[in-house]
Structure 1
Amino acid sequence: MKSGEGFSIEVQETSAAAKGKAPLIPAPLPPPRPEGWGKGIAILDLILRICAVVATLASTAAMGTSEETLPFFTQFFQFQASYDDLPTLQFFVIAMALVGGYLVLSIPFSIVTIIRPRAVGPRFLLLILDTVALTLATSAGAAAAAIVYLAHNGNLNTNWLAICQQFGDFCQKVSGSVVGSFIAVVLLMVLVVLSAMALRRI
């Protein structure tokens, strides 16, 4: 190299720069979602599911044992009130027994969601079946509530007499059973919402 002469370093252009395009930068991966939130929902789901089992089975037992006979008549002529005298209350007992049985069978699936909070299959199955159980419990509770209202207040237009003044124990059991069914309905609504939230977070 002669003195006074400059030198240059050749830099090869990359193909992306030659084309006037910036090199692609991979997008950062989203941070993994913590499993503690999903496990907390699953534990709450199990607790509410057990409470719903107690409410439905207690409601079914109260309605199934609601029977009263007025004592001041002879054995040949008695007034008696029982749940199986009305098809609506029979439907209530069957429907709530089905819902209670389903809730008992769903407990193992709820335990699986605690062990595996990111499992989609069990959570999605619980969401569908809880919705069906919610519909059945709501229809049974609403139908029985209409009968309880008539038993307490009667209906003069249809000559339906209020019988709760005579059959107090019967009406008390039936009313308590309906209240228990609506508690179960509220719990099932919360279970459906929790399942939907858990699926959204997975």
Structure 2
Amino acid sequence: MDSSRSAKESGDIAIPVREIKSLKSGKGGPPVPTTVRLGDQPPPAAGWKRGVGIIDLVLRIFAIAATLGAAAVMGTTSQNLPFFTRFFQFQASYDDFPTFTFFLAGNAITCAYLVLSVPFSIVCIVRPHIVGARMLLFLFDTLALALTMAAASAAAAIVYLAHNGNPNTNWPALCQQFNEFCPRVSGAVVGSFLAALILVVLVVLSAAALRRN
């Protein structure tokens, strides 16, 4: 009774095997039950969740790079255009547009969150059956996705107007003059959308891992 109880607690599986021993006289002896113990092996779900955790960590690092790059490019974007003399200039800077300021803040907040979430992602690799850390990542990844998508979408609308203008409202196409400003802000917006796409994948992975619990 004690041995079976200890076997259940240790996770071993006892498989009864009947072994028939033949006697020299030709009479079959009584079946002797033997016990074969399988070694402690992680269940298949644990290996699958550990793989999900590794993918989660790699994608999280890529998302950090994407949001950091988008925020850095936007925050350093500025261009001056000389007009008549060098003392009278037109200037375009990201902080001239409140939308771009919101874009910078949103990507910076998402980047900071992703850096803080890396230890939780590592915990999900070491302990694949943990639920609390995975649930926190799922919730905050969703919030970060909403913030990043809102910032990227708002900035994309301004970039579209800067490239094409709007004749109905007499909005000129600024990118015809500011040929350095527009490509930089456009690249920052692309990087932010890439980060949003990675966050979508992270949310789906967390949901799949929680579903298997």
Give the TM-score taking structure 2 as reference length: 0.78
Match among 119, 125, 136 for residue 114 of structure 1:
125
Cα offset, 1:137, TM superposition = 0.3
Instruction: Please tell me the root mean square deviation across aligned C-alpha atoms, in Å.
Output: 1.3
C-alpha displacement of 1:71: 3.6
Counterpart Cα distance in 1 of 2:84 and 2:69: 32
Q: Which residue of 2 aligns with 1:154?
A: 165
Match of 2:211 in 1: 200
Residues in 2 aligned to 1:131 and 1:59: alpha-carbon distance in whole angstroms: 19
Higher strand share: 2
CA drift at 1:201: 1.1
CA distance in 2, matches of 1:73, 1:111: 59
Q: 1:54 aligns with which of 65, 77, 93?
A: 65
* Paired AA for residue 117 in structure 1: P
Distance across 1 between alignment mates of 2:56 and 2:143: 17
Q: Which structure 2 residue ranges, 5 or more long, are not aligned?
A: 1-42
Deviation at 1:33, TM superposition (A): 4.5
CA displacement 1:18-66 (0-9 Å, x = unmatched)? xxxxxxxxxxxxxx54311000000000000000000000000011011
Question: 1:74 Cα shift?
Answer: 2.6
Give the number of aligned pairs: 172
CA distance in 1, matches of 2:100, 2:189: 10
Residues 69 and 80 in structure 1, CA contact (< 8 A), matched pair in contact too: yes
* Match for residue 75 of structure 2 among 36, 51, 64: 64
Q: What is the deviation of 1:121?
A: 0.2
| Alpha carbons of structure 1 residues 95 and 73: separation in structure 2 relative to 1, 3 Å | farther
1:153: how far off? 0.2
List structure 1 segments (4+ residues) > 2 angstroms apart after TM superposition: 71-76
1:165 aligns with 176
Task: State the one-letter code of the partner of 1:163.
Answer: L
* Residue 105 of structure 1, aligned match among 105, 108, 116: 116
State how far apart, in whole Å, the 2-side matches of 1:34 and 1:146 are.
44
Counterpart in 1 of 2:186? 175
